[in-house]
A = this chain, B = another copy of it.
Amino acid sequence: MSPIRRLGTSRRWADVVIHGETAYWVEVADDLSLDTHGQIAAVLQQIDATLLAIGSDRTRILQVLIHLADLSDGATLDRLWDAWVPEGHPPVRARVQSGLGGNCRVEMVVTAAVDVETRS
């Protein structure tokens, strides 16, 4: 049975949950006072930080489900996204408009591959 590892657990959620070779997490901008461009850039940077923390990297992202508060921000998303995704190693991607609440402009649900932790 594969162990479950968590990073950044709070009362309500974990920042990351890793099961076997699969990591699951949800990313919204740490600073929700940023404008849309700022929030999307922040989320991508935060994904990088999470990948580093779990010993993975951009080439090993499997799936990203992107919720935008307003689909008219799609062009901004795509500009930042295209510059960020590693050529030849993109994930699958869904992009939909959902209600996110408050000033939140973007929320990404990420699934990535990680090595199995062999240390006890």
Shortest Cβ-Cβ A-B pairs, 4 listed = A97-B99, A96-B98, A13-B93, A24-B63
A116 at the interface (CB under 8 A from B): yes
For window 63-120 of A, CB contacts with B under 8 Å fall at 63, 65, 67, 71, 74, 78, 81-82, 85, 87-94, 96-101, 107, 109, 111, 113, 115-116
Q: How extensive is the interface on chain A, given as a class?
A: 35 or more
Say whether A9 contacts B88, CB under 8 Å.
Answer: yes
Say whether A91 contacts B13, CB under 8 Å.
Answer: yes
Residues on A lying within 8 angstroms of B by beta carbon are 1-2, 4, 6, 9-17, 19-22, 24-26, 59-60, 62-63, 65, 67, 71, 74, 78, 81-82, 85, 87-94, 96-101, 107, 109, 111, 113, 115-116
